[in-house]
C-alpha cells in the first residue's frame, strides 16, 4: 500500500464569487480506503465531481493512476468508478439489465460483460433478485445496484459518495461488507465520503476532515481521535478570567483550558441555532482539554466547589471522530 493512486494538488472550485472547494490537497495510496468526513455542504461532493470529470476544477488539478484529470480525463475514467449520491438507474429495467447497459458504456460485450455483471451482483448480494424491475426494490437495494453500476468495469479507484444515505440497516450492513470485501480481496482503492463518523471509523484507513471547503485535519482514525487525548470537558460558568483559566490548567489531568467560542444566537426566523451547545449565549463556556478525563473532571469539580463557583452547565466529550470535529470547528458534524 505504498504506491499513490490519487494525488490531489490545490484543488479549487468557484461559482461566481463563491468558493466551495478552497485549495485542498491530499493523496490516496493503492489499496487504501480513504475517508472524506464532513457535514452536508462541506465540499465533499464537489471534490468527487471534479476528480471524476463531472465538473471542471477552477484551479489546481489531480493525478489519478499517472493521468492528469485536466488533460487526460478519458484515461482517468477507465481507472475510476463513481457511485454518486443520486441514483443513476432506469427504474423499469431489472438490475441485470441496468448493469448490462452500464457495462456496454464501458465497452464490455459478450462473455466478458456477462461475467462482470454476475460478479458485481454477487458483490452487492442481489443475485437472487437481479431480474426484478428496480422500481420494485427498497431504497437500500437500489443503492446496492447503484454501487454495482460503478463496479461493473472493475475500476482501480472507486468513489463512493454518501452511499448509505436513506438506506435501511440491513442494506447499510451489506454496503459495509461489500466495501470491505472489495478492498480486502481485490485490493481496490476507495474514496468514501460521509457525514456519519461511525462509518469512517469502521471502514477507513485514513480520514480527511473537511469543513467549508477546506481540509482541517488528515490522519489515521486512531491518530485523529488521539488529538482529544483523554477527552474534552465543557463547563459553563458565570465568570471567567485568565487567572482562573491558569489555575484550571494547573489541575492534575488537565492539558489545556480556554474560553470556547460563544454559541450563535437563534436565527430570527425561529430556526435552529448554528451552535448546538445548549447554554445561554452570555455565559462564559470553558473548554478543558483533558489528558485523563476522569481525573480532570474530579479535580475540576472539586476546584470549582472550593472557589464557591456555580457550575451552570457540564458536557463531557469522549474521544471519537464526532467530537474531534467539534473540537476543531466548534460545531457538531450533523447539525
Helix or strand (DSSP H, E) at 194: strand 189-194
Question: DSSP string spanning 99-142?
Answer: HHHHHHHTT--HHHHHHHHHHHHHHTT-GGGTTSBGGGS-HHHH
pLDDT for the residue 11: 98
4-224 shares its CATH topology with 229-318: no
**Is 4-224 CATH 3.50.50.60?**
no
Q: How many residues does the chain have?
A: 335
pLDDT for the residue 21: 98
pLDDT for the residue 2: 60
pLDDT for the residue 265: 42
pLDDT for the residue 270: 45
Sign of CA dihedral 139, 141, 145, 147: positive
Three cell numbers written together for 211: 469543513
pLDDT for the residue 279: 38
pLDDT for the residue 134: 96
Q: Output b/e per residue, 80-118; b: 16+ Cβ within 10 A.
A: bbbbbbeeebeeeebbbebbbebbeeeebeeeebeebbe
pLDDT for the residue 228: 75
pLDDT for the residue 330: 79
- Angle 215-324-210 (CA atoms, 0-180°, nearest 5)? 20
- Going from N- to C-terminal start, the domains of the chain cover 4-224, 229-318
The contacts of residue 174 (CB under 8 Å, 6+ apart) are: 124, 125, 140, 144
Three cell numbers written together for 326: 467539534
Three cell numbers written together for 258: 480556554
pLDDT for the residue 276: 38
Cβ proximity of 190 and 179 under 8 Å:
yes
φ, ψ for residue 300 (rounded to 5)? -65, -45
Q: Tell me the fold of 229-318.
A: Alpha-Beta Plaits (3.30.70)
CA dihedral 198, 201, 202, 207 (to 10 degrees): 130
Cβ proximity of 81 and 155 under 8 Å:
yes
Place of cell 477552477: 58
Q: What is the mean pLDDT of each run of 10 residues along the chain (335 residues)?
A: 88 97 98 95 96 97 97 95 92 96 94 96 94 94 94 96 88 90 95 91 95 96 83 91 94 92 48 40 81 89 94 86 84 70
Three cell numbers written together for 294: 476522569
Amino acid at each position: 500500500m505504498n504506491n499513490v493512486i490519487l494525488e490531489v494538488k490545490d484543488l479549487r472550485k468557484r461559482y461566481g464569487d463563491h468558493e466551495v472547494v478552497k485549495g485542498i490537497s491530499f493523496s490516496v495510496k493503492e489499496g487504501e480506503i480513504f475517508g472524506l468526513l464532513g457535514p452536508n455542504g462541506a465540499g465533499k461532493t464537489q471534490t468527487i465531481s471534479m476528480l471524476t470529470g463531472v465538473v471542471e476544477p477552477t484551479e489546481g488539478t489531480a493525478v489519478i493512476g499517472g493521468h492528469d484529470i485536466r488533460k487526460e480525463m478519458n484515461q482517468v475514467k477507465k481507472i475510476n468508478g463513481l457511485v454518486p449520491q443520486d441514483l443513476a438507474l432506469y427504474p423499469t429495467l431489472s438490475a441485470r439489465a441496468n448493469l448490462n447497459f452500464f457495462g456496454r458504456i464501458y465497452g464490455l460485450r459478450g462473455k466478458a460483460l456477462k461475467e462482470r455483471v454476475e460478479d458485481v451482483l454477487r458483490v452487492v448480494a442481489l443475485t437472487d433478485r437481479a431480474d426484478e424491475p428496480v422500481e420494485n426494490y427498497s431504497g437500500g437495494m437500489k443503492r446496492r445496484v447503484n454501487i454495482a453500476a460503478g463496479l461493473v468495469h472493475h475500476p482501480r479507484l472507486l468513489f463512493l459518495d454518501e452511499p448509505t444515505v436513506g438506506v435501511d440497516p440491513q442494506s447499510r450492513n451489506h454496503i459495509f461488507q461489500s466495501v470491505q470485501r472489495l478492498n480486502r480481496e481485490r485490493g481496490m482503492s476507495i474514496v468514501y465520503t460521509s457525514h456519519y463518523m461511525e462509518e469512517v471509523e469502521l471502514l477507513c484507513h485514513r480520514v480527511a476532515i473537511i469543513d467549508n471547503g477546506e481540509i482541517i485535519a488528515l490522519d489515521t482514525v486512531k491518530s485523529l481521535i488521539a488529538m482529544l487525548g483523554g477527552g474534552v470537558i465543557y463547563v459553563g460558568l458565570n465568570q471567567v478570567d485568565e487567572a482562573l483559566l491558569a489555575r484550571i490548567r494547573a489541575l492534575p489531568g488537565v492539558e489545556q483550558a480556554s474560553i470556547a467560542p460563544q454559541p450563535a444566537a437563534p436565527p430570527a426566523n425561529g430556526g435552529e441555532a448554528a451552535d448546538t451547545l445548549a447554554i445561554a449565549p452570555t455565559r462564559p463556556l470553558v473548554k478543558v482539554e483533558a489528558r485523563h478525563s476522569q481525573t480532570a473532571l474530579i479535580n475540576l469539580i472539586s476546584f470549582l466547589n472550593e472557589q464557591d463557583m456555580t457550575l451552570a452547565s457540564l458536557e463531557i466529550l469522549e474521544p471519537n471522530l464526532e467530537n474531534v470535529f467539534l473540537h476543531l470547528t466548534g460545531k457538531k458534524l450533523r447539525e
